[in-house]
Chains A and B, each alone.
Chain A
Amino acid sequence: MPATWRASLGYLLRHPWQLFLSMLGVGIGVAVIVAVDLANASSRKAFLLSMDAVTGEATHQVVGSPAGFDESVYVDLRVHHGFSAIAPIVEGTAMIDEVSLQLLGVDLFAESEIRAFTGLRADAGSDTESLFREFLVTPGVVSMSDQLAARLGIAVGDGFTLVADGREHRARLLATIEDPDGRFANLLVADIATAQEWLGTAGQLSRIDVRIAADDGPALARLEASLPGSVRLLTAAGRTRATAEMSKAFMTNLTAMSLLALLVGLFLIFNSVSFSVLQRRNLIGILRGIGVTRQQLLVIILAEAGLLGLVASVLGIAFGVLLGEQLLALVSRSINDLYFRVSVTAVSVAPASLAKGLIAGIGAALAAAAAPALEATSYQPRLALTRSTLERRTRSLLPYVTLGGLVVIFAAVVLLAVSGRNLVAGLTAVFLLILGFSSCVPYAVRHLSRWLEPVARRFAGMPARLAIGGIAAGLSRTGVAVVALAVALSATIGVSVMVDSFRGSVNRWLEQSLQADVYAGVQRGALDAGLIDALQRIDGVEATSTSRRGWIEESRGRTQLIAIRMAPESYAGTELLDADPAEVWPAWESRDAVLVSEPYGYYNDVGAGSRITLPTDRGPRQFEVLATYQSYDVNASAVMMSRVTYERYFDDDGVDTIGLYLESGVRADDIVARVQALSVGRQNIRVDSNARIRELSLDIFDQTFVITNVLYWLAMGVAFIGILSAMLALQLERARELATLRALGMTPRQVGSMITLQSGGIGLLSGLAAIPLGLVMAWVLIEVINRRAFGWQIDMSVAPGILASSVAFAVITAILAGIYPARRAARSEPALAMREE
């Protein structure tokens, strides 16, 4: 290795702490982005696999109204119109030991055209033909994947109890399905007649799967012409895509959070790598002096940074895969709570995710090294390569950097204004805001610390003045640490204010919309008619409301249809956003009219006065939109119609939830107990008081945001390391100054306190600087990102406690990060001041 390379590398190896911190910075940044990417990709892959398991070879699907459609449609298509590559499906939910599963009722003989349930395994000696026969003729037999059977502790031949449509049924595991890639992880397969019986949908189908070549236009046209008006043909891929799209916004937000962690990681990388270059100013001066060219030096420094980035990224990726497994559990839980059932237990390591981490790590290290390397090598060899030269240059650059930051902020504002509903543009604007703001922070720090300096001196004397003054005086070092912490903190403030505001809005909405005192219902299927009658006649129940929820499938996605029979008090539970309730409610009860949820209105650009077309059992029908109503329901896109209207257009008399309004003085808990007693032997139903539902809903809300908490704690951890490394680097550079102070009579305790105070000062300044960006970020998250991602309108409220605790947290973090540097500084040898370099 050439001597010049050895000279440069030797420096790094002689400062192992600094090398370690640089690698830690790059590694953590890479680990976070890889982990989130893997968790997202694994959830998505698991979802697509499970959709694939259910969809099979189907190219199209025939779907009907929310309650399904008559099975005669299938018979008609197969017998009268000669379509053979079609398979009827009944779909629902079944619970085994509190595990919620997708129940798929199939006709095995028709299935061969769509889904090959190959690898069916039963007892030794059973051949496929006899299995098929038994599956078809024996009521209550099911099949599931071998892993699921093992998870539930059920062996082939075992009988067990499952709950479907609120009722208990006996079942027996006939055979297991080989499932190497986990696509059947949540699937319970039964004969169609069994599924219909269990789900209470005798004679009804959920859909018909169809396989027709995409280019066979005439066959598709013939099929469409054969369908009655109440059902329609959708492409299978479009339906899968539409379902996956639902979670896209959630995943985009997660990706944004991981990018935020990476951004903070980038500051850390910049901090660490630039220090390692800047501290070699003297060495660079010497090498330049003896004839090493600028280009040679640049190559050495960048090669070192690239190598450091590579090694740290590889370690970061390894850590990221481990972290990804932890995040996966959180991500899939949120997706299960919010969107669709997905069962994923192992991270699938996608090469693209790893490449992303590698490129980010190496790229960031190179970019971080390039700027200081260019600066350090631009000096004339003998030009005093002093700190003061560097600080003067930093100070003179400050106004330009700040101006640049303001321009970037302006660009972000323009982007927000012109990007319509584009989520990616909204997130880009957030990052531009962070970037612009970061550029303004050093300027703010310089002025804030100048203001704090005399205050500190008045209360704590010269060491305090030295500590605070040192922050501004060493801006080339402290600035980056302050920016890293400020960005991490502003994200904390932004996300906390957003989550807090969101929680407040959801809580208010729950309080308003849950008007009944007790709710009873089933998750899928319908409440027993006799039970409804009994509930309405309970002593102490003054009035009841009923609702029916179902899904309207369309090529652009799913919309929830809610049919409600209101009790007199129910109307107040729905907040109308764009029309007068006094005019809306009578019209809603009597006309062909609907209300749309706020997200539905936002995405479909409709509101009071618009007209929408919905597929019904009488064919497509137009409905007048009377108003938009506020809703934070996770099934965000919804249309609400009165029960009377619903029954006019849909052949469904089912009710899935009943609300009980109690006479004054009657306790909700007593009625809950009474309802439970009445349901015994009839149907397994869910019954809860108003307060309990609110509590459960808020629990789910909090669980959903656990992932966000984890990500911003990671960002804070990265910022912590940033401060630690900045303080250590500062202390290394100020070794002689600290030694002089010790020689002049400062005690180790005073020197240590000074460094601690300086760290605390960095925390305080970062905390103060983070507040404006945090509030702007909260506003953008609420008004732009959440609106564009989910269509929700949230009332922003800023709890002063969040701001105060963030600043306090910043100070504590910084002080903790400063403990080790302070201890080292306190041990400064005063003799060092005497020694010449």
Chain B
Amino acid sequence: MKDIPAPGHTEISVCGLHRRFREGAREHVVLNDVNLDVLRGETVALRGRSGSGKSTLLNLVGGIDVPDSGRVVVAGVDVTKLDEHRRTLFRRQHIGFVYQSFNLVPTLTVADNVRLVLELNKVPEGDARARIQQLLEAVNLADRAQSYPDVLSGGEQQRVAIARALSHRPSVLLADEPTGNLDDTTAETVLGLLDDLVRKSGGTMLIATHSATVASMCDRVIELHNGKLEERA
């Protein structure tokens, strides 16, 4: 695990990014010369219509996907130059994911879902236990540590997902429609928690969202339109 980084430096640098997909004979350009810099500690909302390429950009930043051309540098590492194995290890150490449909492992308890990434990062058991306790208390789920995901509400599941995403103190947290499957009240609670924890940890967050409420909470809003990024006030 890393120390909380000092704000001000560029944490995510996207430069000349191109990504297109082929659908039969047709080619669909999703990202067309995208450039973006996100500072350390900054939270940025990524907006755009369905299919505009928000998830694709998150995948490229997280090292899940590779661009056709361009560069993605995260936490000082040029992700586009890494092979598949190194990208996996990079994700494991530097990236936290929060998904719209939570994606908790159904066969693991709440505590073990959080523990999963800590174990992958070989965090000693004592430290891991303390970290899990701390995070579950932070998301108000300390009493559900031994429950399985299928008995939790949607809001509770997303809180577990947030705890899991932050467990290894990632440099960057990528969230794809984190409140998309939640009602307004629950969404507000979850969002507040996410914002609070990310800011406290000094992490950088990139959130793909349709929601104006989510966007209003972020330091900056950018919009993807026809494969290009546009800065919004």
Contacts and interface: CB of A to CB of B under 8 A. Distances in A.
Contact of B101 (A473, A746, A836): A836
A736 B119 CA distance: 20
A748 B55 contact: no
Contacts of B99: 740, 833-834
Nearest to B62: A743
A470 B212 CA distance: 40
Contact of B97 (A386, A462, A474, A744): A744
Contact of B107 (A461, A469, A744, A833): A469
Contacts of B58: 834
Interface in B120-135: 120-121
A262 to B, nearest CB: 34
Given A834-B59, A834-B64, A835-B55, A747 B119 contact: no
Q: Which of B85, B100, B105 has the most CB of A within 10 A?
A: B105
B150 interface: yes
A711 to B, nearest CB: 37
A388 B151 CA distance: 9
Contacts of B149: 388
A737 B105 contact: yes
B89 interface: yes
B120 A746 contact: yes
A392 B150 CA distance: 10
A470 B107 CA distance: 6
A388 B106 contact: yes
B93 A469 contact: no
B140 to A, nearest CB: 23
A54 to B, nearest CB: 68
B103 A830 contact: no
Contacts of A835: 55
A223 to B, nearest CB: 82
A299 B103 CA distance: 35
Nearest to B54: A834
B103 A833 contact: yes
B116 interface: yes
Contacts of B88: 742, 745-748
A835 to B, nearest CB: 7
A473 B107 contact: yes
A744 B116 contact: yes
Nearest to A829: B64
Contact of A747 (B55, B85, B112, B180): B85
B205 interface: no
B108 interface: yes
A741 B116 CA distance: 9
A741 B104 CA distance: 9
A465 B91 contact: no
Q: Which of A462, A736, A740, A834 has the most CB of B within 10 A?
A: A834
A744 B64 contact: no
A747 B88 CA distance: 6
B11 interface: no
B36 to A, nearest CB: 18
A466 interface: yes
A740 B105 contact: yes
B55 A744 contact: no
Chain B residues touching A, range: 35 or more
Contact of B65 (A737, A740, A831): A831
A294 interface: no
A515 to B, nearest CB: 65
A831 B64 contact: yes
A830 B120 CA distance: 16
B115 interface: yes
A387 B106 contact: yes
B20 interface: no
A746 B116 CA distance: 10
A740 to B, nearest CB: 4
Given A742-B88, A745-B91, A836 B120 contact: no
A748 B84 CA distance: 9
Contacts of A744: 91-92, 97, 116-117, 120, 164
Interface in B78-104: 84-85, 88-89, 91-93, 97, 99-101, 103
Contact of A743 (B84, B89, B91, B119): B91
Nearest to B117: A744
A470 B59 CA distance: 28
Given A834-B99, A836-B101, A466 B107 contact: yes
Interface in A369-413: 386-388, 391-392
Q: Which of B65, B88, B93 has the most CB of A within 10 A?
A: B88
Interface string B151-190: 0000000000000100000000000110010000000000
Contact of A466 (B92, B93, B105): B105
Nearest to A474: B107
Nearest to A751: B88
Contacts of B108: 465-466, 469
B78 to A, nearest CB: 18
Nearest to A744: B117
Interface string A426-468: 0000000000000000000000000000000000011001100
Contacts of A833: 97, 99, 103
A745 B106 contact: no
Contacts of B176: 834
B197 to A, nearest CB: 18
A788 B9 CA distance: 87
A834 B121 CA distance: 22
Contacts of A750: 120
Contacts of A831: 59, 64-65
A319 B180 CA distance: 54
Nearest to A384: B150
A833 B101 CA distance: 9
Contacts of B107: 466, 469-470, 473-474
A531 to B, nearest CB: 79
Contact of A461 (B84, B97, B119): B119
Nearest to A392: B150
Interface string A723-759: 0000000000000110011111111101000000000
15 contacts: A462-B120, A465-B112, A466-B107, A470-B107, A473-B106, A740-B103, A741-B116, A745-B120, A746-B88, A750-B120, A830-B91, A831-B64, A831-B65, A834-B176, A836-B101
Given A391-B150, A742-B88, A744-B91, 13 more contacts: A462-B119, A465-B112, A470-B107, A474-B107, A737-B105, A740-B105, A744-B117, A745-B89, A745-B120, A750-B120, A830-B64, A830-B91, A833-B103
Interface of A: 386-388, 391-392, 461-462, 465-466, 469-470, 473-474, 736-737, 740-748, 750, 830-831, 833-837
